[in-house]
Amino acid sequence: MIETPEWVKDAVFYQIFPDRFAKSEHVPKGRLVSWDAPPPDKGYQGGDLLGIVERLDYLQDLGINAIYLNPIFQSACNHRYHTHDYYQVDPMLGGNAALRELVDEAHKRNIRIVLDGVFNHASRGFFQFNDILEQGMASAYIDWFTITGWPLHPYDMKKPPNYLAWVGLRDLPKINTDNAQAREFLMQVAEYWVREFAIDGWRLDVAAEITTSGFWEEFRQRVKAINPETYIVAEIWHEAKRWLQGDMFDATMNYEFTGPVIAFCGGDRVSEALVKGRDYKPHPAIDAAGYGRAIHRLLGLYDWNVTQVQLNSLDSHDTARLLSIARSDKDTIRLATLLQMTFPGAPCVYYGDEIAIRGSANTEEPFYDREARWTFPWQDESQWDKEMLAYFQQVIALRHAQPALRRGSYHELYAVGEVYAFARQMVDEVVVTAVNVSTQPHTAAVPVKGLLADGLALRPLFGQSEQVVVADGRISLTLPPRSGLVLK
């Protein structure tokens, strides 16, 4: 059995894009783009870590007990995937002291903090790369990167950059992890934030692109030596068996779950334009049987301890908002979130989804990352969907209240037409979830023989008010259009 962090099995994550979530008045900043303005490609809107501290009570009330932060290290871009200094939290986010306060205050509330580690590439402002720009072939760090010609062209778009960069973007020079010094530098960075700041995990950006033999094995050994419960989750969008054998990552961002759940719950509402070209498959639509096949395949891929800590998101900073993908159909959000919160693995809410925050203005045009990064409208609650917020609170509380939904085995019960039902079983507790994604009501005779005995009554936990009794090895469920229920 592969060992993974126990706490993650009970976690509900909240992903925060720091520049856009909450702005404190205690962090000095320069010129900012207005908080209410459309999200810019360049420039800052001023969110910071102390702003997150000020909203921890909100997150706790929502039911969140883990936070995944997009990059926070010093960088000359608002998303901070262009790292300048791996040992300094960006001053505009409040610096290292603000991270210390965030971790301390979060831990007092039993909320974990996971940082985004961008170790495949750095930036033109990263000291070691900048030294090459200044010193040329005389630089002590020339082997930290892969130079293909001289002179380097870090800014001249008309000429090749003459160095390897992530997907050819000259502002993201790829670190040569085959170089022993560069590799050791990154290992020490990973250790530092776990040891000195007690962070609870690393989310690893484009992790599959670091192919140096033994790199991730060593990363795991050194980080886990400090804290064995450190969560190591990799951004890999596809099947990841070879990385999830217990010697590298604990989990991945589970887009292999994201795609089918959106394709099933969203159906023909899904905007092909907003998902085209992304490395997951929420389009075309699938029925309950198709969803069942996708889930059966997914649950067969990994060790059960890995499955229980997979990071299950419905959207992220790299995808369009689910509300946009579903062309503003809020039932899609509710159905997908119910499946997410009752599925094995750690559910992750992208900031603002719980209030149906805005996304892409035009759902029939290609998706641009900035459109998933609007600021959270703290000052104008008229922009909040309070019913959606209450729904999220309810289904998150349901997950926390039922151990079987977090750690129980998974049993598909019914997958016919547009109705899907499954059970989570833990010892003698069985929790049944069923959804009807159709616009028509459906009654389903769901087989439970071998799982629940005849005459046993299932009490409602969510979505209906009457108990259901097992008869002839089945339970009869009546599901209104576009709805779900949970019974125990």
What residues are annotated to the active site? 205, 235
Beta bridge pairs of residue 478: 443
Tokens of 164: 């390897």
Fill in the DSSP letter of residue 89.
E
To which residue do tokens 């309950």 refer? 288
DSSP notation for 126-176: SHHHHHHHHHGGG-TTGGGB-B-SSS--SS-TTS--SB-BGGG-TTSBBB-
CB 315 within 8 A of CB 353: yes
Please say whether the beta carbons of 204 and 249 come within 8 A. Answer: yes
- Quick one: angle between helices 180-197 and 215-226, nearest 10? 20
Q: Write out the E strands in 308-459.
A: 311-313, 346-350, 409-416, 419-426, 429-436, 442-447, 457-458
Distances in Å between the Cα of 192 and the Cα atoms of 56, 227, 239, 475 are 25, 12, 30, 54
| CA within 13 Å, CB half, 73 | 20
C-alpha–C-alpha distance, residues 451 and 192, integer Å:
48
